[in-house]
Chain A
């Protein structure tokens, strides 16, 4: 394996470990030595990859946004109705919340709750563009095909993603009486009917 490939792998393992720790223990309570210890590497070496905790945090949000964006891109490429796409996107989001809870938790409990960490380098949509772009493409296609009602992007986006985020937040708080997967059908239908033309 080339040195560059090895470095890329190491970088990703740092991101994944830090993502886990930040999501579980909180951003401020997690230190660089904690992350290095969990990875079995020296603090100095970790700094070779990320020069500060803030930069690492920003890289993680970029990474999670790309992962989620790639999955939604696959949905966008499918030749299915907007109604089915809504269902698939909800499924992806809730599956991720179940199988990789740290990713969604990170977004809700680190990214949205520690804005000062992201104010320089992750302004606005900068670090979440991988995900936002695919949602835009989903909306654009669905309006173009006449399935969804044309409206302002944010009024539709807020309804869709705010709803999903809210449900995952409730899951994280442990207040949902049922497994989150049980809500996929109803929530997909609610979103589709709220947005349809």
Chain B
């Protein structure tokens, strides 16, 4: 990973078509500087680094770990007169690890919507492998999320530093982070089990799956195991999971559950429809008084 002159792996953070969201999100890591102390930060779009962007665009800098942020466009995205995709390809070929940080860099994400035919992720276009895949797959780690969870990136960087193996799924997402669904650990699971809908956004009570579009039961991610800002998550706060770690993100109706005759169009991950409907029909037959009440009653 590093040559003898460099005691620390060299980390390069490059942006393509990006909103800066992932770079900003990583700044929220409480141990950011402790993590970064294990690396030589070659370039980062926000933090002060040894090299400038102009230096990097010359493609003469060494790097061990490449973090890519943003969607890719093969031609037409220039920075200082240089085609960004060619710069990324150069560093991708010399790096020992490539991390696609965020959904745009991984699958195309939000920016893909602008020009779905030409804008993609680095190695995936949605869930389809791009032509780059074969060349870089061996060293690719996908960290989708809109934005990326700072602790997921911190985890992967530290695993790399410690030279520990990272088990991945078929889209190269680390299983440790993406094997569970966002539903796992959700504070509303009791309401899901008993099929009790929430009555609105932001309430403590009720499940967001039935009416308000929550994609937690079929979205891979550990948002409810590794909380955001160490405090909360979308679903805990009362906003539906938008499925932002998946190749088909973003869908169009994020606050509405698509149903067919009242039946959710997408089943919880791996659950056969017949099994789900049987359980739902039975469970919905019971009224549990505790779940019909507010958790906290405030006197007027």
Contacts and interface: CB of A to CB of B under 8 A. Distances in A.
Interface of A: 123-126, 129-130, 132-133, 136-137, 139-140, 143-144, 148, 150-154, 156
A153 B261 contact: yes
Interface stretch (B143-151, B159-167, B274-282): B274-282
B284 interface: yes
B273 interface: yes
A136 B265 CA distance: 12
For the residues of A in contact with B, the DSSP-based class is helix
A152 B263 CA distance: 9
Of A129, A144, A150, A152, the most chain B CB neighbours within 10 A belong to A129
Sorted nearest first, the 10 A-B pairs with minimum C-beta distance are: A124-B285, A153-B262, A143-B260, A139-B261, A125-B281, A129-B281, A123-B285, A133-B277, A153-B261, A140-B263
B114 interface: no
B285 A139 contact: no
B196 to A, nearest CB: 14
B260 A139 contact: yes
A125 B284 contact: yes
A153 B263 contact: yes
A125 B286 CA distance: 9
A150 B260 contact: yes
A129 B277 CA distance: 8
A152 B262 contact: yes
A92 B87 CA distance: 67
12 contacts: A123-B285, A124-B282, A124-B284, A125-B284, A126-B285, A129-B278, A139-B261, A143-B261, A150-B261, A152-B261, A154-B262, A156-B261
A68 B94 CA distance: 65
A151 B281 contact: no
Nearest to B259: A150
B282 A126 contact: yes
B71 to A, nearest CB: 31
A49 B105 CA distance: 63
For the residues of B in contact with A, the DSSP-based class is mixed
Given A124-B285, A153-B263, 8 more contacts: A124-B281, A125-B285, A140-B263, A144-B260, A150-B259, A150-B260, A152-B261, A152-B262
Contacts of A152: 261-262
A129 B260 CA distance: 18
A137 B281 CA distance: 12
A133 B262 contact: no
A124 B282 CA distance: 7
A3 to B, nearest CB: 30
Contacts of B274: 133, 137
Nearest to A123: B285
A140 B261 contact: yes
Nearest to B273: A137
A23 to B, nearest CB: 24
A123 B285 CA distance: 6
B263 A136 contact: yes
Contacts of B282: 124-126, 129
A163 B284 CA distance: 24
Contacts of A144: 260, 265
A136 B281 contact: yes
Contacts of A154: 262
B117 to A, nearest CB: 27
B281 A133 contact: yes
Nearest to A76: B274
A124 B261 contact: no
A153 B264 CA distance: 11
A144 B81 CA distance: 49
A156 B259 CA distance: 14
B140 to A, nearest CB: 35
A57 B211 CA distance: 36
B268 to A, nearest CB: 15
Interface in B234-274: 259-263, 265, 273-274
A123 B286 contact: yes
Nearest to A129: B281
A175 B284 CA distance: 37
A149 to B, nearest CB: 9
Contacts of B277: 132-133, 136-137
B285 A136 contact: no
Contacts of B281: 124-126, 129, 132-133, 136
Contacts of A136: 261, 263, 277, 281
A115 B262 CA distance: 26
